[in-house]
Amino acid sequence: MCFNSFSSSTVFLAMFIISIYYIPTSFCQGDAQYVACAGRFRCANFSNLEYPFWSGGRAPHCGHPAFKLDCQGDVPLLTLRSRPYRVLGIDTRSLLITVARQDLWNNTCPRLIFNTDLDYRLFRHPSSDQNLTLSYGCAKVSGQLSIYQFECTVNETSSDSYFYTQLVLLETNISTQVNCRKNISVPINRTSAQLLTATTSSEHDLREVLKGGFGLTWEANDTNCNLCAQSGGRCGYNSSTSSFACFCSDRPYQYFCNATDSGFGNGKSSKLQISKILGTESH
């Protein structure tokens, strides 16, 4: 069906007559890019995924380039600044993704020690989150701070490693006592921070927190996407302009399906324009 947004059969008939004059032949078969982005897709243990996400099985123009999922394992992997993250949750309503660093998932001792590096043009931390510091290759300390110690063999030398939350850093003089070769930050939420601040916290707790991951809210022109979808389009990306694109049944538009969108073409007919002619605009 091409005109399923019009319920009245009278309007349908009028539309049909007008369509003979106004609608290009490609209108009903659909723009190829529009057709390619139909429906939602599955990835590992997630179903119903849509823009800004895409994967190997879906055309790249149907998603934002930074949101490509690797669906080969038991959970999707998302590459952020060339490092892999396990995707543990996706909430498209609140634009919240829960990810865990693949190298630190159920693991306190990664082979390569690197900081968590994110593109803050695309992602934000929930405001209650904080950084957990993991310090590797440290000289030994004694006393109370050793509760935050864990084992990790760095460069074939077994040395002490420590984890400390922001509160621990603030309330102890750990930073003046511990001398480490490498420090990294990993985001954690408030609940996890409380757990790891407690003097009863253990390496097991650390492992569990790292396994649970952290939340990130994303911003990938989702407002544009809502407008596009409302106009009957499918959200995507124009790689030649590196910007959002709205694929409509007749052709791609910059923001949403309409007739005289500046920047492309020269104003072919569309649902919106026709409905304006008929005075039956449905929104």
Ligand X SMILES: *[C@@H]1O[C@H](CO)[C@@H](O)[C@H](O)[C@H]1NC(C)=O
Residues that bind ligand X (CB under 6 A): 33, 45-46, 75, 88-89, 106, 113, 121-122, 125, 129-131, 135-137, 143, 154-155, 173, 175, 177-183, 185, 187, 189, 191-192, 209, 212, 219-221, 238, 240-241, 243-245, 252, 254-255, 258-261, 263-264
Lookup result for tokens 């590196």: 242
Q: Which C-beta is closer to ligand X: that of 104 or that of 220?
A: 220
Rounded to whole angstroms, the Cα distance separating 216 from 48 reads 19
176 SS3 class? helix
Lookup result for tokens 């290009």: 24
Residue 216's CB is within 10 A of a number of other CB atoms, namely 22
How far does CA 212 lie from the centroid of its chain?
Answer: 17
Q: Which C-beta is closer to ligand X: that of 14 or that of 124?
A: 124
Rounded to whole angstroms, the Cα distance separating 46 from 61 reads 20
Smallest distance, ligand X to C-beta of residue 280, A: 15
Contact between residue 278 and residue 258 where contact means Cβ atoms under 8 Å apart: no
Q: Which C-beta is closer to ligand X: that of 13 or that of 40?
A: 40
Rounded to whole angstroms, the Cα distance separating 255 from 194 reads 44
Smallest distance, ligand X to C-beta of residue 39, A: 18
Smallest distance, ligand X to C-beta of residue 156, A: 9
Smallest distance, ligand X to C-beta of residue 9, A: 26
Q: Which C-beta is closer to ligand X: that of 13 or that of 171?
A: 171
Q: Which C-beta is closer to ligand X: that of 37 or that of 209?
A: 209
